[in-house]
């Protein structure tokens, strides 16, 4: 089942001159400015199909030399089998062992996805032009994503292209409701100072879904159509921004639409925000997506808007005199129109955010509605909009 029927028959991207099965990409000479290498984070609960997806990508024609990074050991699935385990206890100091794979791809494995490991990988420039990172099943992508989403340092050679989350159609509801097998599951919102032992359960499955740019609901062969629609609805209610696709054996119809070159962090289009505006739902008790709409702001209100974002994301509170319950923001996207015709694009992961001016003009000058989409816990409170409006109006 395709949950996004708007696009079909999108042509496969072909590298110029690539007409056989062994694409040759010419490494850039040392003195030319090198393009940033995209990294896609592949996350998903235990056994959801991450390794199956990587194997699938590596055998498909995509005209890219992909470096695959696995941050898990002891897995017995195909890719892992090809790894030399000699460096299993020390990946920091030694060069990362690379294993050549089909299609000119390479595979390496690091125990912890540390900055050092990636820098090490980047020294092999020219050897690859895309990085796929498979996280362990219990990883919280909100902790990993900001590592690759920086303005300097690593960010100069790598950019975060997107987060893809695999979901096991058969087990995901159990994971969300019971935190099955999940040592990270918690009922607290926020800090250790404010325990709420009766709050709804926050599981790793929630975190992986809430941070995703693309969600692949895999193993659809194991569920009925009715069960699947319950799963789709639940996931959509948690993350109203992500693109959702259903798969068997992780076989995505188009790699370029769902995995590679998503550019999920450098553009915020109106289409990106359209799903989330279909009203609020409370299907999942823990995480939801909420959209705040408001009129265009003036240039002089931009610092006020920034103050709202900073307070919300860095201080976990809302500016202005509003009362609100605790909240926790995982993902944020916005298009804010300014009356002079500019459009500001906002992107956030946890407490990291970025505000840029859109390259082209938005809609009609000053006519586009401003829209801010929040994904997280407790985001569905009217206080968010009240605080924003009050902060914009303050002097």
Q: What is the contact mask toward ligand GTP in residues 208 to 237, using x (rule: CB under 6 A)? A: ----------xx-xx---------------
Binding pattern to ligand GTP, positions 83-122, x when CB under 6 A?
----------------------------------------
Q: From ligand GTP, Zn ion, none, which one binds at residue 135 (CB under 5 to 8 Å depending on kind)? A: none
- Residue 50 binds ligand GTP (CB under 6 A): yes
**Count of CB atoms within 10 A of residue 324's CB?**
14
Closest CA to 73 of 89, 62, 96: 89
Q: Which residues bind Zn ion (CB under 5 A)?
A: 50-51, 75
**Region from 196-204, 226-234, 245-253, 316-324 binding ligand GTP, contact rule CB under 6 A:** 245-253
Residue 161 partner contact from Zn ion, ligand GTP, none using kind-dependent CB cut-offs of 5 to 8 Å: none
Nearer to ligand GTP (CB atom), residue 36 or residue 249: 249
Binders of ligand GTP among residues 168 to 187 (CB under 6 A) are none
- Taking the CA atoms of residue 320, residue 322, residue 328 and residue 329 in that order, the dihedral angle to the nearest 10 degrees is -50
Q: How far is the CB of 359 from ligand GTP (least distance, A)?
A: 37
CB of 66 vs ligand GTP, minimal distance in Å: 17
Other Cβ atoms closer than 10 A to 89? 8
Output the DSSP codes for 176-199: HHH-TT-TT-B---SSTTS--TTS
Instruction: Give the one residue of 52, 109, 286, 347 binding ligand GTP; rule: CB under 6 A.
Output: 52
219's contact among ligand GTP, Zn ion, none, with CB below 5 to 8 A by partner kind, is: ligand GTP
The footprint of ligand GTP on this chain (CB under 6 A) covers a number of residues equal to 20
The one of Zn ion, ligand GTP, none whose footprint includes residue 208, by CB under 5 to 8 A per kind, is none
Specify the stretch interacting with ligand GTP by CB under 6 A; choose among 142-150, 247-255, 316-324, 369-377.
247-255
Q: Which residues, numbered 15-44, are part of the site for ligand GTP (CB under 6 A)?
A: 44
Upper half-sphere CA count for residue 113 (Cβ side, 13 Å): 25
Q: Check if the beta carbon of residue 48 is closer than 8 Å to that of residue 140.
A: no
For 248-267, what is the HEC assignment? CCCCCCCHHHHCCCCCCCCC
In b/e form, how buried is each residue of 147-183, taking b as 16+ CB within 10 angstroms? bbbeeeebeebbbbbbbbbbbbbbbbbebbbebbbbe
- In the complex, what is the shortest distance from the CB of residue 394 to Zn ion, in angstroms, rounded to a whole number? 50
Using the minimum distance from each CB to ligand GTP, give the nearer residue, 203 or 296.
203
Say how far apart CA 38 and CA 162 lie, in whole Å.
Answer: 9
> How far apart (Å, rounded) are the C-alpha atoms in residues 293 and 280?
13
268: nearest Cα among 372, 156, 196: 372
- Contacting ligand GTP (CB under 6 A), which of 77, 85, 88, 102? 77
Distance CA 68, CA 81 (A): 14
218 binds, among ligand GTP, Zn ion, none (CB under 5 to 8 A by kind): ligand GTP
3-state secondary structure of 88: coil
CB 257 within 8 A of CB 141: no
Residues that bind ligand GTP (CB under 6 A): 44, 46-52, 72, 75, 77, 137, 166, 218-219, 221-222, 248-250
């Amino acid at each position: 089942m395709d949950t996004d029927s708007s696009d079909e028959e999108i042509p496969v991207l072909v590298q110029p001159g690539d007409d056989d099965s062994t694409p040759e990409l010419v490494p850039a000479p040392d003195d030319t400015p090198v393009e940033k290498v995209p990294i896609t984070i592949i996350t998903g609960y235990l056994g959801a199909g991450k390794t199956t997806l990587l194997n699938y990508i590596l055998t498909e024609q995509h005209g890219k030399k992909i470096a695959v990074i696995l941050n898990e050991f002891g897995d017995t699935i195909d890719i892992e089998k090809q790894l030399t385990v000699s460096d299993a206890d020390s990946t920091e100091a030694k060069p990362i062992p690379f294993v050549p794979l089909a299609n000119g791809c390479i595979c390496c494995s690091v125990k912890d996805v540390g900055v050092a490991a990636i820098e090490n990988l980047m020294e092999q420039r020219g050897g690859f032009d895309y990085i796929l990172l498979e996280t362990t099943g219990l990883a919280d992508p909100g902790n990993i994503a900001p590592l690759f989403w920086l303005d300097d340092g690593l960010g100069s050679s790598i950019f975060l292209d997107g987060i893809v989350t695999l979901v096991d159609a058969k087990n995901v509801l159990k994971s969300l409701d019971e935190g099955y097998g999940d040592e990270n599951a918690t009922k607290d919102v926020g800090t250790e100072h404010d325990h709420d032992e009766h709050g709804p359960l926050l599981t790793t499955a929630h975190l992986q879904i809430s941070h995703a740019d693309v969600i692949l609901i895999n193993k659809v062969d194991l569920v009925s159509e009715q069960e699947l629609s319950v799963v789709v609805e639940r996931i959509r209610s948690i993350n109203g921004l992500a693109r959702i696709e259903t798969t068997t054996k992780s076989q995505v119809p188009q790699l370029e639409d769902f995995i590679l070159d998503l550019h999920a962090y450098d553009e915020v289009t109106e289409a990106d925000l359209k799903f989330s505006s279909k009203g609020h739902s409370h299907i999942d008790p823990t995480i939801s997506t909420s959209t705040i709409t408001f009129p265009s702001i003036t240039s002089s209100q931009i610092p006020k808007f920034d103050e709202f974002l900073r307070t919300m994301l860095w201080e976990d509170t809302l500016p202005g005199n509003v009362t609100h319950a605790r909240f926790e923001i995982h993902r944020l996207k916005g298009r804010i129109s300014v009356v002079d015709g500019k459009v500001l694009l906002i992107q956030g992961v946890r407490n990291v955010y970025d505000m840029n001016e859109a390259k082209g003009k938005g809609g009609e000058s000053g006519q586009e509605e401003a829209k801010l989409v929040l994904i997280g816990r407790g985001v569905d409170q009217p206080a968010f909009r009240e605080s924003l409006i009050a902060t914009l109006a303050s002097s």
